[in-house]
Amino acid sequence: MSAWETVIGLEIHAQLATQSKIFSGSATRYGAPPNAQANLVDLGYPGVLPVLNAAAVRMAVKLGLALQARIATHSVFARKNYFYPDLPKGYQISQYELPIVAQGALEIVLEDGTTKRIGVTRAHLEEDAGKSLHEGLPGVTGIDLNRAGTPLVEIVSEPELRSAKEAVAYMKKMHTLVRYLEICDGNMQEGSFRCDANVSVRPQGAQRFGTRAEIKNLNSFRFVERAINHEVARQIELLESGGQVVQETRLYDPDRGETRPMRSKEEANDYRYFPDPDLLPVVLSEEFIEEVRRTLPELPDEKARRLQHDYQLSAYDAGVLSASRELAAYYEEVVRAVPREPKLAANWVMGELAAALNKENLEITSGRLPAERLGGLLTRIADGTISGKIAKEVFESMWASGASADSVIAEKGLRQITDSAAIEKVIDEVMAKNPAQLGEYRAGKDKLFGFFIGQVMKATGGKANPAQLNELLRRKLGG
Amino acid sequence: MYDFALVFALRDALREPPMPLTREQIASIAELARLDLSSNEMPVYQESLSSILAFVGALDQVDTARVTPLAHPLTGLTQRLRPDVVSESDRHEEYQQNAPRVAAGLYLVPKVIE
Amino acid sequence: MSELHQLSLVELAAGLRARRFSSVELVRACLERIDRHQGTLNAFISVTREQALREAQAADRALAAGSAGPLAGLPLAHKDLFCTAGVRTTCGSRMLDNFVAPYDATVVARLRAAGAIMLGKTNMDEFAMGSSNETSYYGPVRNPWDPALVPGGSSGGSAAAVAARLVPAATATDTGGSIRQPAALCGITGLKPTYGRVSRYGMVAFASSLDQGGVLSASVADAALLLREMAGFDPHDSTSVDTPVPDYPAELEQPLHGLKIGLLREFFDAGLERENEQCVREALRVYGELGAELSEVSLPHLPLSVPVYYVVAPAECSSNLARYDGVRFGHRCENPRDLQDLYRRSRGEGFGAEVKRRIMTGTYVLSAGYYDAYYLKAQRVRALINEDFIRAFERVDVLIGPTTPTPAFAIGAKTADPITMYLNDIYTIGANLAGLPAVSVPCGFVRGLPVGLQVVGRHFSEARVLATAHAYQRATDWHRRIPRGYA
């Protein structure tokens, strides 16, 4: 066991899924031409003023309620002052002393199956900055302010994460939650969901935290894990060789798999926070908060518990199926077709379907194979029309053609043979063709039973009902 | 009790600022504010900022232990919320007419190293 | 008939409606006067001649067709910090020398919608930071009563233009007295409405919790006419208040009988020049004759308004002016070596000395280790000042006192000592800190120079404040005095 303990706190930035920006009427759509979605407020033009977007407030409250946090009935926007080219006003409007959400928690499942509650210190509303583009511009940096003013919630965890794996579990869980709440699209490639990781190490058993480094702008789960692991190793090596960790901001370089100090943040910043005089205190009534509470969907943990209970699923299956609202809804629609076979439905959704979607890089929401179609297929397994093995073949055809299970079965003649007379007829033929094996079997070589099963299945194209075949064959071979 | 006599007296007392800011302090404030100051401007700001800070130091005489700061003159007013509606269209060419340097719709600055 | 420039805005409005003269004639007369006196006064930064004449022709057509708005055909000037679409807005700064806003400030748009015509943009202290109009990049404005003297500031161009009757009225802004102080020093009427009454959208910000747009005019009645059109809720300004706008001109004639007037004891304290005080005392006697009840009130924390202001205003300004970085608009230095050089030199070259002083003061009072001692402390004392006003208004309807401690002073007299300059606003800043409506009206002369009387009211009681000041103007003729050479 290592002599060092890792301490991690995450600051997750989730872009809120509003139509317009937090303080202006510009669109927030991703991928617009440079500065096409930056209006006078976003550009920080002289004389313009911010007006707060109601949807952003509602979404932050939703998140706070889902985290069982305290919702501030009085919160204040403050200015965080610093100069940077992607920050048009020279300050970012954020919340400082009085955030809208405080003191929440999120439960994560550890590798050994136990759960751990991670404290959420606060979640506050703020505006995103623009983007600096360096490529293809010799000697200059280009500034695109389309993203400037996009609403963010910054969700700050307590320093209660103890490994890169825990950090990833926490981030994934938060990712699931914000999508459940429909407050963030969760698109990490586009930067809609990203985090900064505060990482430090201390000797096992120590009370005080070690000096931390902040790794900025991690936008994939894999990078979070690798960056933290690299940073932990770096800090331990530094300390063990008699060095000291410097409090600084670092960047993760995915190509080299390491972190390095961020040059532009070298100087100590003095942000000179003060209440933004252009905005008034945000005051929320209890009625408003209750009204938002009533709009909360079933949350991931509740849903997993319910799936586990109602469908007798394992904790693991219930966890996987509740990873998104859409997946869970899909699963439950499939179960409605085969109410007695929830485990069969779970296996198919998590197995064949997930693999097929994955192969084509599709989401469950793609509509590629509607739940009712998959339900139709499972119905035919359940009622014995086809075997599980044949079902896989039918599934492939359905996936390729979009046809229903019944039409694939009919068209390809895959219906299972359940007519005892028909099966007996085939058995008789097989026995007639293989007198030597029959003799050996009857002489006591039981293992040859499998040979006869194989021959009958071959002759029927796999369609013979396995249970019936088993019984009939045993009787016939017994003579 | 406070009166204007005090404020005027304070002004008169300030002919000799009590605790002048150092040149280094002025330089670091100017850096925080991103203001290039010439070497002849330095002593001017050193003197005037020192007296301003001493002047506003008059506030120290007031007991404000139980007073809530007033950030805004109209107490009791609260932030109004705007409906989440897109009301703007692309006008970047017009807006960039005031920009000193642009290319391909981007504002240009000297190379930024992150 | 009087010459056009001798008529008040109210009289001009009536004349236009009666078709006694046309808007084109009126605009031409104003432009001629601007041409004649601009060289002396330097009241304007931009004159929008062609645009004004075009608009005047349109106004005449509307007047003829009977479809004219309440201000149809009336020429106005705007302080050069109100954004005007297509016409440059400099804020008196090299930083914005070439800046053309792509939009109209709400105040500008509302006045335009009411039919008013913009003659030009007036000179001002750089970014409204000053009390003498000497910090303008475009040179000082001169006082029409004596060209060796300052007109006051920061709305010095608007005040001088109205005092010299180059325009009948002008917009202005008041952060610490920038409407009332130049009104007093130029012998005209200046109205600062309640914070939140007039939209700040499109007003280039100096100190957001203090800035308020208002009017400089020849009379209170003229100010009432303009305020009715300028005021009102604006969804673009979160600090704009959604409360009905009274018909101010209709409410001017309220009798003063029984009005409770509080005399601000602290205002008659050290610093007030004796002759100034005599003018103000004489005005109070007039109020007594008009039936008002006078009593003395004390606002013990009010004297601290100047130090509070010189923490709060610079703090807000240091942040508001961070957007001028040479990237999206405004001055950009030549050949920056790197990003930091671009910032430092663009801002160092673009801003003048007083603006830099305030940015640095504000940066300091917000910085780590000083925030509590300066910024927070100032906001706490601000709360005490606000409470003083609230308590006073439980006893009286309006507060009356001097607008400034002295009449206009010589250009250059106070530039070397910022604190002496700051103390010019000693009587006006309180109303900004508490967001109260206030008006300054002329109340006499000292050594041939005008003196101002200030009336301060409760939040959103502009009708009461205007009626109080209007009654005084009905009883006196100080506001009709026009400086020699401009009559």
Mutate to test the interface with C, among A20, A22, A45 (most CBs of C within 10 A): A45
Q: What is the pLDDT of residue A418?
A: 80
How far is B18 from chain C, CA to nearest CA, in Å? Answer: 15
* Cis geometry, peptide bond prior to residue C305 (ω within 30 degrees of 0): no
Structure tokens at A181: 């709440």
Report the residue of chain B nearest C312, measured CA to CA: B71
The shortest CB-CB distance from C238 to any of A49, A83, A88 is to A49
Structure tokens at A216: 């900025």
Q: Which residues of C are catalytic?
A: 79, 154, 178
Q: Is B8 on the interface with C (CB under 8 A)?
A: yes
* Listed residue (C22, C78, C33) closest to C55, CA to CA: C22
Q: Helices B4-13 & B41-56, crossing angle to 10 degrees?
A: 150
Cα three-residue angle A218-A220-A222, rounded to 5 degrees: 105
Report the residue of chain B nearest A26, measured CA to CA: B88
C-alpha separations of C225 from A111, B37, C219, C381, C463 in Å: 74, 46, 10, 36, 11
Alpha carbon distance A2, A240 (integer Å): 12
Residue-wise pLDDT tens digits, A96-150: 999 999 999 999 988 888 899 999 999 999 999 999 998 888 889 999 999 999 9
Q: What is the pLDDT of residue A111?
A: 83
Neighbours of chain A (3+ CB pairs under 8 A): B, C
Residues C443 and C285 sit within 8 Å (Cβ to Cβ): no
Structure tokens at C38: 């601009």
* Inter-chain CB proximity B96 and A35 less than 8 Å: yes
* Inter-chain CB proximity C235 and A51 less than 8 Å: yes
Convert A298-348 into a string of H (helix), E (strand) and C (coil). CCHHHHHHHHHHHHCCCHHHHHHHCCCHHHHHHHHHHHHHCCCCHHHHHHH
**Dihedral angle computed from the Cα positions of residues A35, A36, A37 and A43, in that order, rounded to the nearest 10 degrees:** 40
Q: Is C330 on the interface with B (CB under 8 A)?
A: yes
Neighbours of chain C (3+ CB pairs under 8 A): A, B
Residue-wise pLDDT tens digits, A46-104: 999 999 999 999 999 999 999 999 999 999 999 999 999 999 999 999 999 999 999 99
How far is C316 from chain A, CA to nearest CA, in Å? Answer: 8
Residues of C in contact with B41 (CB under 8 A): 353, 356
- Could you please state the CATH topology (level 3) that the domain comprising A420-478 is classified under: Arc Repressor Mutant, subunit A (1.10.10)
Cα three-residue angle B86-B91-B95, rounded to 5 degrees: 125
Structure tokens at A446: 């039981």
Residue-wise pLDDT tens digits, A155-201: 999 999 999 999 999 999 999 999 999 999 999 999 999 999 999 99
* Inter-chain CB proximity B101 and C423 less than 8 Å: no
Residue-wise pLDDT tens digits, A435-452: 998 889 988 888 889 999
Chain B interface with A: residues with Cβ < 8 Å: 32, 34, 71-72, 77-88, 90-92, 95-96, 103-114
* Inter-chain CB proximity B79 and A281 less than 8 Å: yes
Structure tokens at B92: 């970047």
Alpha carbon distance C98, A428 (integer Å): 101
Residue-wise pLDDT tens digits, B20-55: 899 999 999 999 999 999 999 999 999 999 999 999
* Inter-chain CB proximity C363 and B33 less than 8 Å: yes
CB neighbours of C470 closer than 8 A, spacing ≥ 6?
Answer: C219, C220, C221, C224, C252, C253
Q: Report the pLDDT averaged over residues C287-303.
A: 95
In chain A, what percentage of residues exceed pLDDT 70? 98
Residues B106 and A35 sit within 8 Å (Cβ to Cβ): yes
Q: Is C335 on the interface with B (CB under 8 A)?
A: no
Mutate to test the interface with B, among C103, C306, C456 (most CBs of B within 10 A): C306
Q: C4-258 in CATH: which number?
A: 3.90.1300.10
C-alpha separations of A408 from A350, A356, A376 in Å: 22, 18, 11
Alpha carbon distance B59, A443 (integer Å): 111
Report the residue of chain B nearest A279, measured CA to CA: B79
The shortest CB-CB distance from A44 to any of C201, C323, C343 is to C323
Pairing state between β C260-264 and C293-297:
parallel
Radius of gyration from C-alpha coordinates of chain B:
23
Q: What pairs with residue A197 in β-bridges?
A: A10, A215
Residue A279, phi then psi, degrees to nearest 5: -125, 145
Instruction: For CA atoms A468, A470, A474, A476, give the dihedral sign.
Output: positive
Mean pLDDT of chain B: 88
pLDDT at C323 over 50: yes
Residues of A in contact with C99 (CB under 8 A): 46
The beta strands (E) that lie in chain B are given as 81-82, 102-103, 106-110
Alpha carbon distance B100, B91 (integer Å): 17
pLDDT at C444 over 80: yes
Q: How many residues does chain B have?
A: 114
Query: Predicted confidence band at B7 (pLDDT cuts at 50, 70, 90)?
Result: low
Residue-wise pLDDT tens digits, A345-395: 999 999 999 999 999 999 898 888 999 999 999 999 998 888 888 899 999
Q: Report the pLDDT averaged over residues A266-280.
A: 87
In chain C, what percentage of residues exceed pLDDT 90? 93
Q: What is the pLDDT of residue C392?
A: 97
Q: What is the pLDDT of residue C1?
A: 44
* Inter-chain CB proximity C380 and B60 less than 8 Å: no
Q: Give A 269-308 residues with CB within 8 A of chain B.
A: 270, 272, 274-275, 277, 279-283
User: For tokens 């079965």, what's the residue?
Assistant: A409
pLDDT at B12 over 70: no
Ordered by start, the domain boundaries in chain C are 4-258
Structure tokens at B14: 């300030």
Ordered by start, the domain boundaries in chain A are 4-269, 297-412, 420-478
How far is A272 from chain C, CA to nearest CA, in Å? Answer: 5
Tell me, rounded to whole angstroms, the distance of Cα A53 from its chain centroid.
Answer: 27
Q: How many CA atoms lie within 13 A of C106 on its CB side?
A: 23
Q: What pairs with residue A7 in β-bridges?
A: A200
Radius of gyration from C-alpha coordinates of chain C:
21
* Inter-chain CB proximity A264 and B79 less than 8 Å: no
Mean pLDDT of chain A: 93
Report the residue of chain A nearest C365, measured CA to CA: A272
Mutate to test the interface with C, among A76, A82, A140, A274 (most CBs of C within 10 A): A274
Which H/E stretch holds residue A125?
Answer: strand A115-127
* Inter-chain CB proximity A280 and B78 less than 8 Å: yes
Helix, strand or coil, per DSSP, at residue A294:
helix
Q: What pairs with residue A52 in β-bridges?
A: B81
* Listed residue (A378, C415, A270) closest to B32, CA to CA: A270
Alpha carbon distance B98, C328 (integer Å): 7
* Inter-chain CB proximity B56 and C420 less than 8 Å: no
Q: Is A109 on the interface with B (CB under 8 A)?
A: no
Report the residue of chain C nearest B95, measured CA to CA: C102
Which H/E stretch holds residue A4?
Answer: strand A4-15
Q: Is A37 on the interface with B (CB under 8 A)?
A: yes
